[in-house]
Structure 1
């Protein structure tokens, strides 16, 4: 009995950590532990938010009767973790943020099955769409606290600042915001896949450079706000080929820049739309050996992920 209870607790812990790892597309408990360490290093409030959301979403998925294998892989918990992070990012009061986090995480779990079923018909992964939908529903209530990064001219960056900004952009894939957290995330992703870690860095660097050329502020670069959508897109499309990866990252840059110009709280919508676009192109008959056969990158994107902007600085 004692051994069975120990095994059950260990399995539950691994499921929770995999839910966190899925935020950066890695169904890996060690990656999740690295994310947890990055949040604790950056702001323990973020760690509490992610754990709270992941637990609420996983419990809701179990009550809804979702596939146990998918729950164990972390696919039912990561949107809840991101919903919790969004709540604590945009709501200053801890009690209110906690209440919104639990409700939003539960809602993402209940939305997951209909969203997944509808998107699966088109050969698309659900990615962070449940988190985005739920967050956009309550975000107008605190819209004054959810302003996107501004656009302005920027000065030349030194090598040190560039390195720190690149790592910060990489860290933002896990909702952290500094270079040391980025190193932890890099280690976590590399432990699961060194190739994915490399592409995430390339995606963050490509997106950051493109945004700076478009006139984004150096302060936005320093906090990683310019690179995280590119990093996530590169992670999601890492098995689709170089052209697809770079094209997806470029599209995410354009979408994020347009959203910033109009003041829209895009969050990870640029990553989601860019990834969906490449998925759709990969599944067209001209790109597939058989119309019934999934595209080479479809299974990779199934381990969907998300992220929201940098946490409040006030």
Structure 2
């Protein structure tokens, strides 16, 4: 009798092992999806899944790299013994997502995916480093690790033959640069592509899905993302930006991230001027994007999300002295 009871308990214990493993996998997958959603400053696994679907619709290959980058970033954070809450919130995964995506898009060769996934792993460590360095300032790290890491890897292609740059990134001589503002702008495409360009996407359906993902996380966040995209489009047009770039949403994605960060995510204490400062910061991303893109032309580098980082840091740092901002 006693032996039978023990056998039953042992069987129950053995049968429970797969459920524990499955639970760990679900936990890892959920944290990874949140890492994807954290790219647009959202902690929501469903939003992350919608974004992943949008990316996969654009490219199955890019969708796989995105998911693997998110998982790698999460695993590196776990292996490194990072704070469990930060891992669960996806705060150590979003830079890995962007780094993996950027490197697989901006590098060439059959093995660029290896470099992209290695970059995703390094991005998680770099994010932890920056979080520690920025802790005393109370200013968020944002996407700075992804930007710097991606720029340096792309620049290394000029000295390392084993890493090859994509033919889409061509250094240009500023003395021969000509501004082309011809052509018409499709307003709807420009607005939708603005949110899509956060993830390097420029098609209608993925843009709609990503907007849905943001609205799912919160109506206010969704509204801010639309406002940011519209603002960038009209400011860029008013300032005489290239119509092609405006229509592709290349002036919009930094504005979207900035208005969400300044007006909602990092607004701090109740501040009735938070939306206004977010709008101004979003508008500022347009000339900064233009200036930074010009500065990077001789190196053939994309501006990425550096305008978002600079404008957000500008406002959040100013708030330390002028809290009404």
Shorter-chain TM-score: which interval? 0.7 to 0.9
Would you say 1:178 and 2:203 are equivalent positions?
A: yes
Q: TM-score, normalised by structure 1?
A: 0.84
**8 Å contact from structure 2 (residues 69, 117) kept in 1:** yes
Distance 1:99 1:134, change over 3 A: same
Correspondence 1:70-219 to 2 at 5 A: 70-95=86-111, 97-140=112-155, 141=157, 142=165, 145-147=168-170, 151-157=179-185, 161-219=186-244
Seen in structure 2, the aligned counterparts of structure 1 residues 89 and 65 have a Cα distance that, compared at 3 Å, is same
Deviation per CA, 1:161-187, whole angstroms, max 9, x where unpaired? 211211011111233211211110111
Please, which moves more after superposition, 218-227 or 78-87? 218-227
Is 2:29 the counterpart of 1:29?
no
Identify the residue that residue 258 of structure 1 maps to in structure 2.
291
Instruction: Check whether the contact 2:181–2:244 (CA below 8 A) recurs between aligned residues.
Output: no
Rg (Cα) greater in structure:
2
Structure 1: tracts of 5 or more residues without a match = 289-294, 296-314
| Residues 147 and 49 of structure 1, relative CA distance in 2, 3 Å threshold | farther
1:88-142 deviation digits (Å, cap 9, x = unpaired): 11013242x2111122111111112221122222221010011111111111112
Any conservation in 2 of the 1:165–1:179 contact (CA below 8 Å)?
no
Contact 2:215/2:222 (<8 A) preserved:
yes
Do residues 234 (structure 1) and 262 (structure 2) align? Answer: no
Contact map agreement 2:108 2:166 (CA 8 A) in 1: no
**Which of residues 74, 93, 96 in structure 2 aligns to 1:58?**
74
Calculate the TM-score normalised by the size of structure 2.
0.82
Show CA shifts across 1:189-242 (max 9, x none): 111111111111111111122222233222222322121111111121232312
Superposed displacement of residue 87, structure 1:
0.8
* Unaligned 5+ runs, structure 2: 1-15, 158-164, 173-177, 268-273
CA distance in 1, matches of 2:70, 2:53: 16
Runs of 4+ displaced beyond 3 Å: 147-151, 154-157
Tell me if 1:269 matches 2:302.
no
Query: 1:211, 1:257 within 8 Å by CA — same for their partners in 2?
Result: no
Higher mean C-alpha deviation, range 174-183 or range 265-274: 174-183
Assess, with a 3 A threshold, how the Cα gap between structure 1 residues 30 and 202 changes in structure 2: closer, same or farther. same
* Residue 27 of structure 1: how far off its partner (Å): 0.8
Aligned counterparts of 1:194 and 1:237: Cα–Cα separation in 2: 16
Q: Which residue of 2 aligns with 1:42?
A: 58
Q: Do the aligned partners of 2:36 and 2:97 also contact (CA within 8 Å) in 1?
A: yes
Describe the shift of the 1:128–1:219 C-alpha distance in structure 2 as closer, same or farther (beyond 3 A): same
* Counterpart contact for 1:171–1:177, Cα < 8 Å: yes
Segment drifting more, 235-244 vs 83-92: 235-244
SS in 1 for 2:210: helix
How far 1:155 moved relative to its partner? 4.2
Q: Secondary structure, in 3 states, of the residue corresponding to 2:314?
A: helix
Return 254-263 or 21-30, whichever deviates more: 254-263
